[in-house]
Every structure is written in C-alpha cells, then in structure tokens.
Chain A
Amino acid sequence: MREIPAEKVIEAVADMCITANRYLPADVRARFEECAANENSPAAKEIFRQLKENYELAEKSGLPLCQDTGLAVFFVTVGEGVCVPGGLRAAIDQGVRKGYQEGFLRKSACDPFKRTNTGDNTPAIVHFDLVPGDTLKIAFMAKGGGSENMSRVTMLSPAQGWEGIRKFVIERVAEAGPNPCPPTIVGVGIGGTFELAPILAKKALMRELDDENPDPDLAAKEKELLDAINRLGIGPMGLGGRTTSLAVKIAKHPCHIASLPLAVNIQCHSARHKEVEL
C-alpha cells in the first residue's frame, strides 16, 4: 500500500482551485487567437479582444477570470494500492475549502431548497475511478452555473441513431444561444445509462482542445458537429459570427439494447481545468 498524506492532497487541490481560476489554459488562448482571425464581424473580434485582455489581467492581478468560480468538480483516478489516511474524499473537500477561501474565490454551493450558501463551496462534486496501480490523479474543473444550466440529458430511441443525436445537440446549442457565454465547448456523452451519459459528457470537457479523438469515427463526428454548430451564426456572446463553439468533444460507452442515452454538457469559453498526479 502506498500512503499519500492527506496534507499533500489538500495542498494540491487548493492550488488547483486557485490557479485554474486565474490562468486560462494555453490551448484555450491559442484557440481564441485562431478563431478571432477567422471572424469578419467587428463585434466578434471585439469580444475576442476583451477576452484576451481579461485573461491577461487575471494573470497579472490575481483576480479570478470570471466571478463565477464554479462548483468544484473532480475526476479522481485512484490506484487500488493508494491509501490517504483520514480519507481521500475529506481531503479533497478540505482542499476546496482552503483554495476557495485563500484565493478569494466565490462560494457558489447552496442548499437546493433553502438556497442558503454552504459557505465554503463544499461539498465538491467528485467522480472516482478505481484503477490498478499506486498513483493518484486528480483532475479539477471550475464549472460555472450559466453554461451548466444550458446542458441537457435525454433518452433517445435507438432508431433515432446518429441523425437524432446530431439534431438534439445542434438544437440544444441553438436554443442556448447567448446564455452559456459562447464561444462554448460542447461535451457530448453517448450511451451508458441515464446517469453515465452526462458524466461522459463532462469528462469529455476535460480533454485538450486540439487533441484528436483516438476513435476515427468519433473524431469525424466531432468535426461534423462543430462545423454545423458554427454555421448557426450565434457567435461570441451571441452577437453573431463564425465562432459559436471552440470544440466538440464526444465520449461513448456501450448501452442497453433498448436505449440511446445522450447528454450535452456545455462549457463556457472560460474553460478552467487542471490536473495533478500525486
């Protein structure tokens, strides 16, 4: 058994919460640049200019990129030979508490009925994956409410197939319009069960923007969806333009012979995520 001190997890999580909220990932910055160059409309170009100024300012001033510093979402890959004395789950929550407090981040977690704030952005949303070995990988995402609200899950009939999937995804992005802060990243989870499809969709959002889906069929489908979405003309912040989304990322999983679960998880342009291996 490999023991990883809880303190090490707490520090790593707190650091990810703070840095992810201050520094926009390099792949997102690069994609902004490419997409801005491809825009004709002055309004679209102006939004890209502001977003660049914003990430430069956040980096310089230490202010968060966005006031919605999100619910803290984690994908944790735990080796079966790893032990965190005191508990891994508790250490992650403690790291969130510390990071959101010390980083002057907004605490957005509240009771669904009373709407009273939990005060420290916990409990974090944590998805565990148990694997052989003795390493611990923690991936963090600061997920904002605006884009999350525009996300949907549906249970299609198998007969609807790819055409049905395609239509649902494009219609969702069209209906969301300016609300989720476009240019967005669209995570699509296909298959599994009612609860697995949205987890697949969210996990797909953790991929690098310019990585190529290892499944050539899915890679082609990602491109097909992105091209169609960008023909909608919604544009940056809904002001019109060629860039409604920066990328589409698809993940699939075998499903029941009776089902075709589908989830669309929308990520705003402030795609804040980070990963650490302990």
Chain B
Amino acid sequence: MAEYKLTTPLTDEVIEKLRAGDMVYLSGTIYTGRDAAHKRLMDMLDKGEPLPFPLQGAAIYYVGPTPPPPGRPIGSAGPTTSYRMDTYAPRLHALGLKASIGKGKRSEAVKQALKDHKAVYFGATGGAGALLSQRITAAKVVAFDDLGTEAIRELTVVDFPLLVINDCHGGDLYAKPDLKAAGIG
C-alpha cells in the first residue's frame, strides 16, 4: 500500500495511480456537500444552470460541520455516511468530479461511475471530527447559505488524511463480513 501527497485539482493520471488501501494526504481546495446541497445541485443541472463551484478535477467532502467556535475556521468536521449521496454521485462524476470523501459503502452504480469516469472514493475516519478539523485551515460558504451546516463550503485543507476505499480499477477496501465465522453462514 502506497502513500501519496496530492493537491487539488485531481487529474486522470493521478487517479489512475491510486489503489484501494493507499493512504492519501490531500491539500488544496475541496467542497463540502451532503444531502440537501446535492439535491439542489441536481435541480440546477436539470435547469441548465451553472454550478456554484468548478466540478472539473474537484473533490466533494460529505460533511456537515459544527459551528466554528471563536478563533477557528470551522468546528468539528468528520465525514458523514456516503450511501445517501449514491443517487447523485454518478451524474457529478460524469461532469468531471474526481473524488468524493465520506465513510461507508457505495452502490454498484457509484463504483461503476468511478471506473467509467476515472474517479476515486476516499474514506476519512468517522467520528474523528475534532482531529480532522485541525487539517482545515480556511472555510467559506460558496452556496446555499440558508442550509446552515448543509451549505456548500469551500475548504482549504492541508495534508487531509484519507484512505482510498474504491479506486477506478474496481478495487474495494472494505472487509466482507464473514457470516460463516459468525455462525449464520
């Protein structure tokens, strides 16, 4: 398993190198977005409107941070469960999104989209929101301010620690549950 230091925007060349299990320290600009924001992005695409941030080479982080206490750019900011964005992810990958960041399993349709459009699914450690917050140096709302925690934010990250869960070659890091060993197989 390899270790990479990467910077956004992400290119096809970089994505093709990555394999499930690789450790990635990501720096640069990433965008937050979860349930409500994704729904609005789809509505904008349906209407032919331009999206509030450039998708080409971008990474979306599925997160709804806590409010920033005084003196900090952002509060606690760990990943939310990704499958709820499975409905939306393939369409965004087709338009140039190179990575999503979350936790938990993805659908077959998302895994196929990663292969079709050379993209990757990163896992961040769930429940480590205070720790991950330390790697975010700036945050500003770029769309849907009325959604509060669910607004789209542009984050500046430095060495944000990620694991490649699903790569663009069909690799999948998650352990398959051993039902036999548990006595129900």
Contact = CB atoms under 8 A, between A and B. Distances in A.
Interface of A: 47, 50-51, 53-55, 57-58, 61-69, 104-108, 115, 117, 119, 145-146, 149, 166-167, 170-171, 173-175, 177-181, 228-229, 231-235, 237-241, 268-270
Nearest to B179: A174
7 contacts: A63-B130, A106-B66, A106-B149, A146-B103, A174-B177, A231-B182, A238-B175
A206 B122 CA distance: 33
B129 interface: yes
> Taking chain A's interface residues, is the majority helix, strand, or loop, or is none over half, making it mixed?
loop
Contacts of A180: 81
A96 B131 CA distance: 25
Give the residue among A54, A62, A167, A270 with the most B Cβ atoms within 10 A: A54
A54 B128 contact: yes
Interface stretch (B8-16, B67-75, B93-101): B67-75
Interface in B133-185: 133-134, 147-150, 163, 173-179, 181-184
Contacts of A145: 80-81
B54 interface: no
Interface in B96-131: 103-105, 123, 125-131
Contacts of A229: 182
A47 B122 CA distance: 15
Nearest to A241: B175
Binding site of B, secondary structure by majority: helix, strand, loop or mixed? loop
B56 interface: no
A43 B177 CA distance: 16
The 5 closest A-B pairs by CB, nearest first: A240-B175, A174-B177, A179-B104, A181-B126, A58-B130
Contact of B148 (A67, A117, A181): A117
Given A104-B69, A179-B105, A232-B179, A50 B131 contact: yes
B131 A64 contact: no
B29 interface: no
B58 interface: no
B133 A63 contact: yes
A270 B127 contact: yes
A61 B175 contact: no
Interface residues of B, number: 46
A269 B177 CA distance: 19
B65 interface: yes
B41 interface: no
Given A54-B127, A65-B129, A170 B182 contact: yes
Contact of A64 (B80, B81, B129, B178): B129
B110 to A, nearest CB: 14
Nearest to A119: B148
A181 B127 contact: yes
B148 A107 contact: yes
Given A104-B75, A115-B35, A181-B126, 4 more contacts: A67-B63, A145-B81, A238-B104, A269-B127
Nearest to A117: B148
Contact of A237 (B63, B76, B103, B183): B103
B178 A233 contact: yes
Given A66-B127, A67-B129, A239 B67 contact: no
A237 B130 contact: no
B88 interface: no
A54 B163 CA distance: 17
Given A167-B184, A231-B178, A237-B126, A68 B80 contact: yes
Contacts of B149: 67, 106-108, 117
A70 to B, nearest CB: 11
B83 interface: yes
Contacts of A67: 63-66, 75-78, 80, 129, 149
B176 to A, nearest CB: 8
A98 B170 CA distance: 48
A225 to B, nearest CB: 10
Nearest to B173: A239
B130 A54 contact: yes
Contact of B66 (A51, A104, A179): A104
